[in-house]
Each structure stands twice: as C-alpha cells, then as structure tokens.
Chains A and B, each alone.
Chain A
Amino acid sequence: MKLTPVLSDNWDVDRSWTLDGYGGDYKAARKALTTMDPDSVIAAVKDSGLRGRGGAGFPTGSKWGFIPQGDGKPHYLVVNADESEPGTCKDIPLMLANPHVLVEGVIITCFAIRSHQAFIYVRGEVLHIVRRVQAAVAEAYDKGLLGKDIFGSGFDLDVVVHAGAGAYICGEETALLDSLEGMRGQPRLRPPFPAVAGLYACPTVINNVESIASVPAIIDRGVEWFRGFGSEKSPGFTLYSLSGHVTRPGQYEAPLGVTLRQLLELAGGVREGHELKFWTPGGSSTPLLTAEHLDAPLDYEGMTDAGSMLGTKALQIFDDTTCVVRAVLRWTEFYAHESCGKCTPCREGTYWMVQILERLERGQADAGDVETLLDACDNILGRAFCALGDGATSPITSSVQYFRDEYVAHWESGGCPFDPAASMLFESAGVAR
C-alpha cells in the first residue's frame, strides 16, 4: 500500500502556509476560471466521484448540481471548518499547514456554483488556525486572487473568515447556517434543503474543508488521475487520522479503502505490550469496531458493511487497558452537553443516558439497566431532529454489542475493574495508580 500525499504534500515545506510555500499561483483555479465554464467544473467534480469528507459522504459534485441556475438570487458557499467531532483532527492541521489549498478550492467551487460570496466558518477554539486562514485570505486578496475580476476572467469573489464560539452542533450544516445568521446554532427542518434555501434563504453549498481542498488537485491533474486511487464507489485519497494507543499517531494520507491493519503497520502498531480492544473509524458518532474488523476496507461501503460508518476517518485506537464503559460514558456526557435542546428525544435522552451510564460505571446498575439504556437509544435513533441524536446512540449500542460482558462485570465487581492510570500515556508523580 502506497501513501498518497496530495493535500499534505507541502506540509514539510518552509513556510508552507504562505503562497510561496504552497508553491504556486493557484494554477488549478486559473485553469478553471480561464479555460472552463462553470458547468464543466461541476461535471468534472461529479465525474471524479469525490464524496464529502466531513462525515456523510455525499457526492460533492451532485451537491453543487442541486444549486438552481438563473434564479436571480445570490448564491453562497459556506465552508464547514467547525471540526469538532470527537477524534477528528484532520482539517485543523490542514488549515494550519496549508490554508491556501482551501482558498484555491473555494475559488473554484464558487465559480462552479456561480457564487460571489463565500464564508469559511472556523471553530473558534483554534486561534492560530484562524490567524493562518485570515492571513491566507488576505494574501490572496493582495495578489489579486480574490476580489474583482480574478485572473481577468470577470469573476468576482469575496471571502469572509468567520470564527465560531464553541458549539459542536454547528458542525451540522443547517445549524451552522443559523449560527452564521447570528442565531443559536440549531438545526433546521429539511426540506427545503440548503441548495434551495440555505443562508439568508438563498441557494447555498456547504462543504467540509477537506472536500473543498480536494478540488484543486482534481481540476489540475484530472478526473482519471483521481479515480486511479480508491475504489469505483469511493474514489480518491483522504486523510486518515490515527490517535490514542498507537505507536506513531498522526495524519496518514492514503487511498480510500486501506485497512486499519495496513495503517497500524505504518504507524508502528498498537502501543507496545498491548492489544487492540476497540476503535472508531470516523469519530465518536460512528459505531465502535474491534480487532475482528482490522481488514475491513476504510471506505464508505466497507465501513457500512462492517456495521459502522467511514465518518471523518478519525481512527481512535484504544488498547486492552481501556474501560469501554468509561469511554462511552464520557462520549455520552459530550453529546448531552452539546445537545442543542431543540428536540425532545436528544435533549432528554442524552441526559438520562448519562445518568444510567454513570451508575453502570460505578457498578451500581445491573443487566436490566443495560436494557433500559438500549431502550433509550431505540427512542432516539431515527427520532431525533438531526444526526447528533443518532450519533449519541452509536457508541452505546455498538459497545453493548461487543462488550456486554464488561458492563455486567462492573455490576458484579461493584465498580470499574480497570485502572485508569494503566491507560495513560505517561507515568506521573502525584497521580494515584
């Protein structure tokens, strides 16, 4: 298996975050704006088979194709840079090291969907990333790559960098729109879909950072080249992020469809002296998998077949020292904290699931409570207003599926049978072992 650095290819270059460090003058954007028409750009991205890298995997070109044309309304591009899904850590390093590939992707995308105003919605808790994106946008304006008449093509584009304020739910695209309109970030009812009535009720495309950043290479090097990686239904390459109990955690850009076994080999394996216990393929909202799934292809179909989802390709690795009940409790606390409160199943359900899981972790709840927990999940999944509620059930139902005995063991031993210090990456004075 070969690694395929494309988005990451300049990350080791001196001052990679500048236009010089990016190594160019936006030649893919120049090609699109001066030699192609918008529809052929959309067609190229459709033909490439690029699918959304933010979790849902929707075909990017199709999303662009839904934007009505000749409707007389302004069109908007909103880049979802609100990376907050637990375990997910790809867009932040990408924007830190290479913000210009995102800006170039924004230009091409806006040209394709006939938009003259884009917003990059960056989560607020990453100060230096906000600086790097602000500086990249400013440099692009200075060099005439943004603003009026870009490349003499007559195409105008303005880009605003907008910092969020700490709310996971704003990664949900319609909640993001409400937030960008200056409201509480709560999801909207669909339809109408954002392609018809998005920002300010105008046609809007919302794409993840990595999706947009993948566009310049497709335009520059061509559809056939892109489709040379990955599979028929999941073409291309992507950033896989390994974290946790792994020898060399980090970003590995590889073709879609590699397996965790292959990635772990590259990353030096699971922490020395330990075995893989459970992992997430794409953040905490994707059902947990175990060592029996080491050879499942990490692409959209492969992960669905394995009973999970590709999500954000955030591979969080937990070894045999980790208590799955503790892990799931903490994720559930996260969902309860981040639930926006709009719908009852998610708002109330996540609250009660935390209560039950706390008792389970303390050894004060028995097998009957595990059933109650599953029943609560059943009342959230498919009944919540947006995917946050569905996601909250994933770690619970999957962990019970694979580790029901461990839940019961907490009850039988009257508490958590694991030593949290054994899971930590350091040995530390002053920490009880």
Chain B
Amino acid sequence: MISDETRELAREVLARYPRPRSALLPLLHLVQSDEGYVSPDGIALCADLLGLTKAEVGAVATFYTMYKRKPVGDYHVGVCTNTLCAVMGGDAIYAALKEHTGINAQNGVTDDGKVSLEHIECNAACDFAPVVMVNWEFFDNQTPESARQIVDDLRSGQPVKPTRGADSVCTWREAERVLAGFYDGRADEGVAAGPATLEGLKLARDRGDKA
C-alpha cells in the first residue's frame, strides 16, 4: 500500500519539472523509499500521475539497475567488480561476502532481511580501490576482512560509518528518499575528502605550488 505521505511527496516531485514525465525517475526512487522495491502499486501510481500505461512505466523501471523488482535488504551492499577494483581485490571481497552471507544471486538477501549483495560497476572511486558501497555510501580501501566486519555489524545492528559519507549508514529506504530529491539534512556530516583525494593538493602545499 502506498502511503498518503508518499502520494503527497509525489505531487511535489512533479512540481519540480517543466514537463511531468521528467519526474518518473525520482518517482520510482520515491516508490522504492516507501515499498522497498518497485512494486505493482508503485508502478500504478507513477502511471496514474503521469498519464502513462503501466507497461510504459515498467519499461523504464527495468532499464535501470538501481530499481529493484524484489525487495532488497535494509542495507544493500555493492562490491565493485569492474576491472580496476576487481584486480586490486574486489573479486576476492565479493567472493568472501558471498561465502560469508550465503547469498549467491545478484541482489539476493540474507534470511534476516538485513543485508543484500550485488556486484556493481565502477562507482567513481578508483583511487580508493577496492571499493564497497552500502546504501550508496562509500567504504574505501576494503579487504575481505573489513567487508565481512561491515556486514556483521550491519546484521547485528552496530552503527556503521562510511569512510566518505554521513556519520552513519541510513537504511536503503531512507537513501532512496534522498535520491527522490528529498534532502535529509545530513550534508554537513562526514569528511570533505578522503586521503587519496587530497594527495595532489597536499603535495602542492608542501612544494608551494600555486596556479
């Protein structure tokens, strides 16, 4: 069941755009924030609001990997296995997490519903390889041990802090709400930059280099 609040927020999304159909991607994020995946009710809501058929909405939803056709865990773990991360250790991390969680399918979920696992493509953090994402927050420079620890902490309810992100990982649904365009007020948490980001600048400061 789509909540009344979500229906209200959906109208706010529509109001942002010159043409209603542009709202479809954020609307699908919003649906996920309420339903935990792109549900049939969610597809019907989007179709109704935008004057599209459900088939047209479904055609868009199935094109994009972030839209899930089944519920994922409260904490969705993505391991980068694109070439650079894979070679630096991402393949070993992914294999370790599969074994540790017993998840064998892409987007599979642990029995307690807490954690799901996906191998992801390049997430634009190659200078921090190997990279793991949890609910699209960065966990840089990972090892199989550190990744297993993250998953264990997530499952046991310990606070988990990204290396470059908010002070703690929010739930997948909360993340989806931000991606729908509803800011959660957490931009001031976390660092400005990770160590690798600052390597060049640090060197420039040491050498007195200026533009």
The chain A residues found within 8 Å of chain B, CB to CB, are 2-6, 8-9, 11-13, 15-18, 21, 74, 83-89, 91-93, 96-97, 117, 123-128, 130-132, 134-136, 138, 160-168, 179-185, 200, 229, 237, 240-245, 248-254, 266-267, 284, 314, 316, 318, 322, 326-327, 330-331, 334, 337-338, 340, 420-421, 423-426, 428-431
Given contacts A125-B136, A184-B60, A428-B143, contact A164 B125 (CB under 8 A): no
Q: Does A338 contact B201, Cβ atoms closer than 8 Å?
A: no
A-B contact pairs, 26 of them (CB 8 A): A2-B207, A3-B201, A9-B201, A84-B122, A86-B126, A123-B124, A124-B136, A125-B136, A127-B165, A127-B166, A128-B162, A128-B165, A163-B181, A166-B66, A180-B22, A183-B21, A245-B88, A251-B198, A267-B199, A284-B83, A316-B126, A330-B86, A330-B87, A331-B82, A334-B83, A430-B96
* C-alpha gap A162/B16 in the complex (Å): 10
Judging by beta carbons under 8 Å apart, are A86 and B166 in contact? no
Name the interface residues of B153-190: CB closer than 8 Å to any CB of A. 162, 164-166, 175, 178-181, 183-184, 186-188, 190
Residues B87 and A431 in contact, CB atoms below 8 Å apart:
no
With the chains together, A86 CA to B85 CA distance in Å? 10
Residues in B neighbouring A337, C-beta threshold 8 A: 121
List the 4 closest A-B pairs by CB distance, nearest first: A250-B199, A182-B24, A135-B187, A252-B200
20 more CB-based (< 8 A) A-B contacts, given A160-B17, A330-B87: A3-B203, A9-B201, A11-B198, A12-B201, A89-B127, A125-B133, A125-B136, A127-B166, A163-B25, A163-B180, A165-B179, A181-B19, A182-B22, A248-B196, A251-B196, A252-B200, A334-B121, A423-B88, A431-B92, A431-B144
B42 within 8 Å of A (CB atoms): no
Chain B contacts for A11, CB-based, 8 A: 192-193, 197-198, 201
Question: Quick one: given A3-B209, A8-B200, A167-B64, are A89 and B126 in contact (CB under 8 Å)?
Answer: yes
One of B19, B129, B136, B211 near A229 (C-beta < 8 A): B211
Alpha-carbon distance between A326 and B87 when the two chains are bound, in angstroms: 9
The answer on a CB contact under 8 Å between A131 and B186 is: yes
Asked if A132 and B187 sit within 8 Å, CB to CB, the answer is yes
Nearest A-chain residue to B133, judged by Cβ: A125
> Hey, which chain B residues are within 8 Å of A136, CB to CB?
187
Contact indicator A251/B21 (Cβ below 8 Å): no
A381 to B133, CA, bound (A): 34
Residue B108 CB within 8 A of the other chain: no
Chain A residues with CB under 8 A of B29: 124, 163, 165
Asked if B121 and A338 make an inter-chain contact with CB atoms under 8 angstroms apart, the answer reads yes
Whole-angstrom CA separation of A182 from B19 in the bound complex: 10
CA of A89 to CA of B123 in the docked complex: distance in angstroms?
8
Bitwise interface map of B from 11 to 25 toward A, beta carbon under 8 Å scored 1, else 0: 000001111011111
* B5 in the interface (beta carbon within 8 A): no
B145 interface residue, CB < 8 Å from A? Answer: yes
Known A85-B122, A97-B193, A430-B144: A165·B211 in contact at CB below 8 Å: no
* Interface residues on chain B, size class: 35 or more
Which has the most chain A C-beta neighbours within 10 Å: B65, B78, B87, B188? B87
Nearest opposing residue in chain A for B123, CB measure: A125
- Assess the A425–B130 pair: CB atoms within 8 A: yes
Say yes or no: B210 contacts A5, CB within 8 Å: yes
Q: By the criterion CB–CB under 8 Å, are B175 and A127 in contact? A: yes
- Say whether A164 contacts B25, CB under 8 Å: yes
Contacts of A3 in B (CB 8 A): 200-201, 203-204, 207, 209
**A200 in contact with B28 (CB, 8 Å):** no
From known contacts A163-B181, A251-B197, infer whether A429 and B145 are also in contact, taking CB-CB under 8 Å.
yes
B199 touches A249 (CB 8 A): yes
B37 to chain A, nearest CB (A): 13
Structural contact, B22 and A12, CB atoms closer than 8 A: no
CB <8 Å contact, B87 and A318: yes
CA distance A20 to B42 in the complex (A): 41
Contacts A97-B193, A127-B135, A182-B25 given; indicate if A87 touches B89 (C-beta within 8 A).
no
A124 and B207 in contact, given A96-B193, A163-B26 (Cβ under 8 angstroms): no
Mask of B66-109 contacts with A, CB within 8 angstroms, 1/0:
11000000000010011110111101100110000000000000
B209 touches A334 (CB 8 A): no
Among residues of A, the one whose C-beta sits closest to the C-beta of B28 is A165
How many angstroms between the C-alpha atoms of A327 and B87 in the bound complex? 8
Cβ of B196 and Cβ of A249 under 8 Å apart?
yes
A253–chain B nearest beta-carbon distance, Å: 6
**A-facing residues in B37-79 (Cβ within 8 Å):** 50, 59-60, 63-67, 78
Cβ-defined contact, A117 with B18, below 8 A: yes
Give every chain A residue within 8 A of B25 (Cβ-Cβ): 162-165, 179-180, 182
What residue in chain B is nearest A395 (Cβ atoms)?
A: B83
Residue of B25, B129, B204 with most partner-chain A CB within 10 A? B25
Query: By the criterion CB–CB under 8 Å, are A252 and B199 in contact?
Result: yes
Cα A421 to Cα B22 with chains together (Å): 46
In the assembled complex, the Cα of A423 lies from the Cα of B210 at a distance in Å of: 36
Assess whether A425 is in contact with B129, with CB atoms less than 8 Å apart.
Answer: yes
Tell me, rounded to whole Å, the shortest Cβ–Cβ distance linking A17 to chain B.
Answer: 6
Q: Tell me which of B120, B166, B203 contacts A266 (CB under 8 A).
A: B203
Closest A residue, CB atoms, query B162: A128
Given A3-B204, A316-B84, A334-B121, CB of A185 within 8 Å of CB of B63: yes
Provide the bound-state CA to CA distance between A200 and B123, in Å: 29
Q: Determine which residue in B88, B135, B141, B143 has the highest number of CB atoms from chain A within 10 A of its CB, and name it.
A: B88
In the assembled complex, how far is the CB of residue B55 from the closest CB belonging to chain A, in whole angstroms? Answer: 13
Bound CA–CA A138/B187 (angstroms): 11
Assess whether B203 is in contact with A182, with CB atoms less than 8 Å apart.
Answer: no
Give every chain B residue within 8 A of A426 (Cβ-Cβ): 89, 143
